[in-house]
Amino acid sequence: MRGNVFIAGLGLIGGSLAKAVKKAHPQAHITGFDLRESELGLAEALNIIDEKAASFEAGAAAADLIMIAVPVLQTERMIEHLASLPLKEGVLITDTGSTKSRIMKRARVLEDRGIAFIGGHPMAGSHKSGVAASKELLFENAFYLLTPGGAAEEKHVAILKKWLEGTRAKILEVTAEQHDEITGVISHFPHIIAASLVHQARKFNRDNPLIERLAAGGFRDITRIASSNPEMWKDISLHNKDILLSLLSDWRDEMNDVLSILEREDEEGLYRYFDDAKTFRDSLPARSQGAIPAFYELYVDVPDYPGVISELTGYLAEERISITNIRIMETRDDVYGILVISFQNEKDRLRAKNCIEQKTTYDLFLA
């Protein structure tokens, strides 16, 4: 497809979208804008965008497609601003925000002008941030949810899907309300719970510093989403407040039920509680991307002798398999393996598993 694509916000998501669009539509002209001059300059230097916009207004005015890839509160402000600008006839506007109801309500100011707005949420991410971390296939096999606004016709949705085909994502259409309930349950609410678990550990660590050391194993893994950007999650939580308040109320009732089971020492009740959770959790897709970014980790039960880590990484280097992180676990309760190696994607993880299995007799586990 030909046309001018304007991407406002050149972080991980905006940069990855620019790469995906350019790969699928090399004749498109991609203009970028970011309040952070360093990110904007880096995006141009790395050829992620074709040029920097002279201003937000100039970039928007020349665009056939406007993609807003900034935090949700900034998205609202940008939508308001776009509604006051002279835009091209037939321009299509979308966003990448993690909440949709408030954004879709705000977008009515565009619909009043007959401008098609389609809410979007690519459900993928990374432990890294910034345009330098952007990847062309960041969204491959991830779900990409669309919430068309009142002025968006089927042809507009088809056009946006065509622009997004380079993402190789699984694109689904839902209502804004459905989106916020789904992401509230499987993404926003878990972030609050993870943060609360960390707060509880921090409180007990004041009197028993050994907690901090022992938490370096499984506890650190199950609460890793608590390390996400606090500014972003503050905005998301406020945007999805009603859903989260309802979920937290349900969670309080759930914990009261568990409290009652423990107080009664109800062995059968406890077994059912854990078994039901295990059954449902084990039924979840293991190879699909969901709302929370996947971590492609390989646990290796290595012997304790000098040079074993360099030996393993040497094997992977011979096969040109990239590693994103490597760490040694000090605690091993209910955890398989002591060396944890992280990879960019599932393909690299499986290649690494095969490589290590061929060259060693170490036990391996895919988390």
66-112: pLDDT as tens digits? 999 999 999 999 999 999 999 999 999 999 999 999 999 999 999 99
Asked if pLDDT for residue 215 goes beyond 80, the answer is no
Question: What is the model's pLDDT at position 329?
Answer: 66
H or E element: which one contains 364? Answer: strand 363-366
C-alpha dist (Å) from residue 164 to 97, 236, 312, 364: 16, 24, 39, 37
Taking Cα atoms as reference points, which of 215, 125, 136 lies closest to residue 168?
Answer: 136
Taking Cα atoms as reference points, which of 73, 122, 113 lies closest to residue 94?
Answer: 122
Residue with tokens 């078994």: 275
Distance separating alpha carbons of residues 304 and 171, to the nearest angstrom:
47
Taking Cα atoms as reference points, which of 149, 74, 163 lies closest to residue 104?
Answer: 149
Indicate the residue type of 58.
A
- Lateral strand order in the sheet of 339-343: 325-328, 339-343, 296-301, 363-366
Structure tokens at 309: 């880590």
**Beta-carbon contacts of residue 22 (< 8 Å; ≥ 6 apart):** 28, 30, 48, 166
Question: What is the model's pLDDT at position 141?
Answer: 82
pTM of the entire predicted model: 0.77
Model confidence at 216, pLDDT cuts 50, 70, 90, reads low
**Which long-range contacts does 188-192 make (Cβ < 8 Å, 24+ apart)?**
188/98, 188/99, 188/236, 188/237, 188/240, 188/243, 188/244, 189/244, 189/247, 189/248, 189/251, 190/225, 190/292, 191/225, 191/226, 191/228, 191/233, 191/236, 191/237, 192/237, 192/244, 192/248
Mean pLDDT along residues 325-353: 72
Model confidence at 288, pLDDT cuts 50, 70, 90, reads low
Asked if pLDDT for residue 298 goes beyond 90, the answer is no
Question: What is the model's pLDDT at position 334?
Answer: 46
Mean pLDDT along residues 277-298: 74
User: How does pLDDT run across 184-196, given as a tens digit for each residue?
Assistant: 998 999 999 999 9
**Could you report how far apart the first and last alpha carbons of the chain are, in Å?**
40
Model confidence at 333, pLDDT cuts 50, 70, 90, reads very low
Model confidence at 291, pLDDT cuts 50, 70, 90, reads low
Distance separating alpha carbons of residues 173 and 120, to the nearest angstrom:
9
Distance separating alpha carbons of residues 52 and 40, to the nearest angstrom:
7
Question: What is the model's pLDDT at position 126?
Answer: 67
Contact 124, 139 (CB under 8 A): yes
Structure tokens at 23: 């790969």
Fold of 179-283: 6-phosphogluconate dehydrogenase C-terminal fold (1.10.3660)
Average pLDDT for the chain: 89
C-alpha dist (Å) from residue 62 to 3, 4, 83, 145, 359: 10, 7, 15, 26, 56
**Beta-carbon contacts of residue 165 (< 8 Å; ≥ 6 apart):** 24
- Lateral strand order in the sheet of 143-148: 51-52, 29-33, 4-8, 65-68, 92-95, 116-122, 143-148, 170-173
Question: What is the model's pLDDT at position 171?
Answer: 94
Model confidence at 362, pLDDT cuts 50, 70, 90, reads confident
% of the chain beyond a pLDDT of 90: 61
Mean pLDDT along residues 149-171: 94
Q: Do 4-174 and 296-366 come out as alike in CATH topology?
A: no
User: How does pLDDT run across 14-53, given as a tens digit for each residue?
Assistant: 999 999 999 999 999 999 999 999 998 999 999 999 999 9
Mean pLDDT along residues 288-303: 70
Mean pLDDT along residues 358-365: 84
Mean pLDDT along residues 218-232: 82
**Does the structural domain 4-174 have CATH classification 3.40.1360.10?**
no
Parallel, antiparallel or unpaired: strands 51-52 and 296-301 = unpaired
Q: What residue spans define the domains of the chain?
A: 4-174, 179-283, 296-366
Mean pLDDT along residues 148-166: 94
Question: What is the model's pLDDT at position 9?
Answer: 95
Give the CATH number of domain 296-366; options: 1.10.10.60, 3.50.50.60, 3.30.70.260, 1.10.1030.10. Answer: 3.30.70.260
Indicate the residue type of 92.
L
